[in-house]
Amino acid sequence: MRTLVVTGGSKGIGLATAELFAANGYRIVNLSRSAIPLPGAIQLSVDMAEPGWAELHAPAVLAALGDSAQLVVVHNAAWLSKDRVEDLDGTRLARVLQINVVAPQQLNRILLPRMGSSSAIVYVGSTLGRRRSRAPAPTWSRNTRCWG
């Protein structure tokens, strides 16, 4: 069986992605704080902002895969902090980096040993970091520019 592992699949782009893959016969595993409104989807209630989430939830993530070797991982979960550089404190920056940069790599490390040759990893991102603007850019767009 083919499996989609999606983060932030409870609404928006993540939900639309899960619906598309489900319509094409994929098992759906969603990692998010909110439940995915998709019948048959496996919901793993995970807060990726928590530093120890990966160690705590790795067994459940692997169990949800069943015997799937063909995995598509869509990193959709993100946190946008609308602030200015001079107003950004270390706690908010750490949260943005944890959710948007660190957590996807933590999930990759959990899943890579199970990913067969036809598997894929996809990152959903913002184009805000690539556009010129006179207004202060949100922290997430700065992360996209730095990491994208």
Taking alpha carbons only, the member of 110, 98, 107 closest to residue 50 is 98
Residue 131 and residue 34: Cα distance in Å, rounded? 31
Asked whether the predicted pLDDT for residue 62 surpasses 80, the reply is yes
Q: What is the band of 135 on the pLDDT scale with cuts at 50, 70, 90? A: low
- Given a contact cutoff of 8 angstroms between Cβ atoms, the answer to whether 8 and 32 are in contact is yes
Q: Over the range 26-36, which residues count as b (16 or more CB within 10 Å of their CB) and which as e?
A: bbbbbbbeeeb
Which residue would you say has higher pLDDT here, 25 or 128?
A: 25
Tokens at 112, concatenated: 């890579």
Residue 134 has pLDDT above 70, yes or no: no
Burial group, residue 41, by CB count within 10 angstroms (0-12, 13-18, 19+): buried
Mean pLDDT in residue range 57-86? 89
Q: So what's the pLDDT on residue 12?
A: 94
pLDDT band at 36; cut points 50, 70, 90: very high
Q: By CB neighbour count within 10 A (0-12 exposed, 13-18 middle, 19+ buried), where does 83 fall?
A: middle
Does the pLDDT at position 132 exceed 50?
A: yes
Q: Place 148 in a pLDDT band, splitting at 50, 70 and 90.
A: very low
Average pLDDT on 27-31 reads 98
